[in-house]
Amino acid sequence: MLRGPDYAGAVSVPVDNEYPGQRLGLPRDGRGSIARPGRRIAALLIDVASAGLIGFAFFSSPDPVTGVPFANPLATNLIFFVVQILFIPLIGGSPGHRLMGMRLELASGGWVGLWRPIVRTVLLALVIPAVVWDADQRGLHDKAVGTLLVRS
Protein backbone atom coordinates (compact mmCIF):
# COMPACT_ATOMS: atom_id res chain seq x y z
CA MET A 1 0.00 0.00 0.00
CA LEU A 2 1.32 3.43 -0.94
CA ARG A 3 0.98 6.22 1.55
CA GLY A 4 1.64 9.91 1.09
CA PRO A 5 2.13 12.64 3.66
CA ASP A 6 -1.61 13.29 3.96
CA TYR A 7 -2.72 9.91 5.28
CA ALA A 8 -4.51 9.81 8.63
CA GLY A 9 -1.58 8.40 10.59
CA ALA A 10 0.94 10.97 9.38
CA VAL A 11 3.43 12.21 11.92
CA SER A 12 4.42 15.85 11.86
CA VAL A 13 7.98 16.12 10.58
CA PRO A 14 9.94 19.05 12.01
CA VAL A 15 10.86 21.75 9.55
CA ASP A 16 14.60 21.75 8.98
CA ASN A 17 14.73 25.52 8.63
CA GLU A 18 12.38 27.28 11.07
CA TYR A 19 14.31 30.55 10.71
CA PRO A 20 16.99 31.88 8.34
CA GLY A 21 20.40 30.50 9.26
CA GLN A 22 19.20 27.57 11.36
CA ARG A 23 20.61 24.99 8.93
CA LEU A 24 23.92 26.85 9.09
CA GLY A 25 24.02 26.69 12.89
CA LEU A 26 23.41 30.40 13.39
CA PRO A 27 21.25 31.92 16.13
CA ARG A 28 17.68 33.05 15.40
CA ASP A 29 18.40 36.70 16.22
CA GLY A 30 21.03 38.96 17.69
CA ARG A 31 24.76 38.88 17.06
CA GLY A 32 25.77 36.29 14.47
CA SER A 33 22.28 35.81 13.05
CA ILE A 34 21.54 36.20 9.34
CA ALA A 35 21.07 39.86 8.40
CA ARG A 36 17.47 40.50 7.37
CA PRO A 37 16.37 42.15 4.11
CA GLY A 38 15.65 45.59 5.62
CA ARG A 39 19.21 45.98 6.86
CA ARG A 40 20.63 44.63 3.60
CA ILE A 41 18.62 47.05 1.46
CA ALA A 42 19.47 50.00 3.72
CA ALA A 43 23.19 49.11 3.52
CA LEU A 44 23.02 48.88 -0.27
CA LEU A 45 21.28 52.27 -0.46
CA ILE A 46 23.98 53.80 1.76
CA ASP A 47 26.73 52.37 -0.45
CA VAL A 48 25.08 53.44 -3.71
CA ALA A 49 24.32 56.94 -2.38
CA SER A 50 27.90 57.32 -1.13
CA ALA A 51 29.30 56.25 -4.49
CA GLY A 52 26.92 58.68 -6.20
CA LEU A 53 27.99 61.57 -3.98
CA ILE A 54 31.69 60.84 -4.49
CA GLY A 55 31.10 60.44 -8.22
CA PHE A 56 29.23 63.74 -8.35
CA ALA A 57 31.83 65.58 -6.29
CA PHE A 58 34.85 64.43 -8.29
CA PHE A 59 33.60 63.27 -11.68
CA SER A 60 30.65 65.48 -12.58
CA SER A 61 30.34 67.38 -15.80
CA PRO A 62 27.68 69.71 -17.14
CA ASP A 63 24.96 68.34 -19.37
CA PRO A 64 25.58 69.66 -22.90
CA VAL A 65 21.94 70.64 -23.38
CA THR A 66 20.83 71.98 -19.99
CA GLY A 67 24.15 72.86 -18.43
CA VAL A 68 23.13 71.06 -15.20
CA PRO A 69 26.03 69.04 -13.75
CA PHE A 70 25.57 65.29 -13.41
CA ALA A 71 27.75 62.47 -12.12
CA ASN A 72 29.48 60.22 -14.60
CA PRO A 73 27.68 56.84 -14.27
CA LEU A 74 30.80 54.85 -15.15
CA ALA A 75 32.84 56.63 -12.47
CA THR A 76 30.06 56.15 -9.91
CA ASN A 77 29.84 52.41 -10.63
CA LEU A 78 33.61 52.04 -10.44
CA ILE A 79 33.63 53.83 -7.08
CA PHE A 80 30.94 51.44 -5.82
CA PHE A 81 32.98 48.41 -6.98
CA VAL A 82 36.22 49.68 -5.47
CA VAL A 83 34.57 50.44 -2.13
CA GLN A 84 33.03 46.95 -1.97
CA ILE A 85 36.23 45.20 -3.01
CA LEU A 86 38.48 47.16 -0.64
CA PHE A 87 36.34 47.41 2.47
CA ILE A 88 34.96 43.85 2.63
CA PRO A 89 38.36 42.25 3.31
CA LEU A 90 39.66 45.22 5.34
CA ILE A 91 36.77 45.89 7.75
CA GLY A 92 34.53 42.87 7.22
CA GLY A 93 31.93 44.63 5.08
CA SER A 94 31.14 47.69 3.06
CA PRO A 95 30.61 51.01 4.86
CA GLY A 96 26.85 50.45 4.48
CA HIS A 97 27.11 46.98 6.03
CA ARG A 98 29.07 48.28 8.98
CA LEU A 99 26.78 51.28 9.55
CA MET A 100 23.78 48.94 9.55
CA GLY A 101 25.44 46.59 12.07
CA MET A 102 26.42 43.76 9.72
CA ARG A 103 29.58 41.98 8.68
CA LEU A 104 30.44 39.60 5.88
CA GLU A 105 32.06 36.33 6.86
CA LEU A 106 32.76 32.94 5.39
CA ALA A 107 30.17 30.24 5.96
CA SER A 108 33.04 28.04 7.16
CA GLY A 109 34.53 30.81 9.31
CA GLY A 110 37.65 32.83 8.74
CA TRP A 111 38.76 35.73 6.57
CA VAL A 112 36.92 36.29 3.28
CA GLY A 113 40.17 36.79 1.39
CA LEU A 114 40.70 38.90 -1.71
CA TRP A 115 39.01 37.01 -4.55
CA ARG A 116 35.60 36.57 -2.88
CA PRO A 117 34.81 40.31 -2.67
CA ILE A 118 35.68 40.69 -6.36
CA VAL A 119 33.44 37.84 -7.52
CA ARG A 120 30.68 38.84 -5.08
CA THR A 121 30.71 42.46 -6.31
CA VAL A 122 30.60 41.44 -9.97
CA LEU A 123 27.60 39.19 -9.23
CA LEU A 124 25.99 41.98 -7.18
CA ALA A 125 26.31 44.27 -10.18
CA LEU A 126 24.31 41.77 -12.24
CA VAL A 127 21.40 42.36 -9.77
CA ILE A 128 19.62 39.01 -10.33
CA PRO A 129 21.96 36.98 -8.05
CA ALA A 130 21.38 39.53 -5.28
CA VAL A 131 17.57 39.33 -5.39
CA VAL A 132 17.33 35.53 -5.60
CA TRP A 133 17.58 34.11 -2.08
CA ASP A 134 17.51 30.69 -0.51
CA ALA A 135 15.68 29.69 2.67
CA ASP A 136 18.53 31.16 4.71
CA GLN A 137 18.10 34.56 3.01
CA ARG A 138 21.48 34.23 1.32
CA GLY A 139 21.63 35.76 -2.13
CA LEU A 140 23.15 33.78 -4.96
CA HIS A 141 26.09 36.22 -4.94
CA ASP A 142 26.85 35.14 -1.35
CA LYS A 143 26.25 31.44 -1.98
CA ALA A 144 28.55 31.48 -5.01
CA VAL A 145 31.51 32.65 -2.92
CA GLY A 146 30.56 30.93 0.34
CA THR A 147 29.88 34.03 2.43
CA LEU A 148 27.21 35.07 4.94
CA LEU A 149 26.00 38.53 5.81
CA VAL A 150 25.38 38.41 9.56
CA ARG A 151 24.51 40.89 12.30
CA SER A 152 27.50 42.14 14.28
Q: SS3 string of 59-90?
A: HEEECCCCCCEEECHHHHHHHHHHHHHHHHHH
pLDDT tens string 38-67? 999 999 999 999 999 999 999 998 888 888
Q: What is the pTM of this model?
A: 0.83
Give the residue extent of every domain in the chain. 26-151
pLDDT, tens digit, 9 for 90 and up, residues 8-20: 554 444 456 789 9
